[in-house]
Amino acid sequence: MNVMRAIIGVLGLAMLGLVLWAALAKHELHGGFFDQLNVITTLPWSIATLADLYLGFLLLATVIFLTERSWLAAAFWAAPVFVLGNIWSALWLVIRLPYLAQRLSKPDWPTS
């Protein structure tokens, strides 16, 4: 379980690094974030990819709302997913994975 949590944490940090790199990269050739967003939203596969991404966010938000003990905690964890994406998802999974594994495991499966 701890290995899986570590892998998810490393992947979340890698995604954070990639986002920071993209945000801080020089954009003389392709423009800034909104310039690039205007271009990619004209491409069919980019639109399909963004729709898939946000559907995944919605599905994870559903799991979060079904898992968290209060609506306030669920909103705290689910709402930022739509802005921070899988960086936030990875953080939630690192924290909640033992609980999820315990709840979803068959009684005879080891959870540690």
User: Hey, is 26 helix, strand or coil?
Assistant: coil
* CB neighbourhood size of 101 (10 A): 16
* CB neighbourhood size of 111 (10 A): 14
Mean pLDDT calculated for residue range 30-47: 88
pLDDT digits (tens, 9 = 90+) for 64-110: 999 999 999 999 999 999 999 999 999 999 999 999 988 887 666 56
| Every domain of the chain and the residues it spans | 2-104
Whether 112 has a pLDDT exceeding 70, the answer reads: no
Half-sphere exposure of 74 toward its Cβ, with a 13 Å CA cutoff? 13
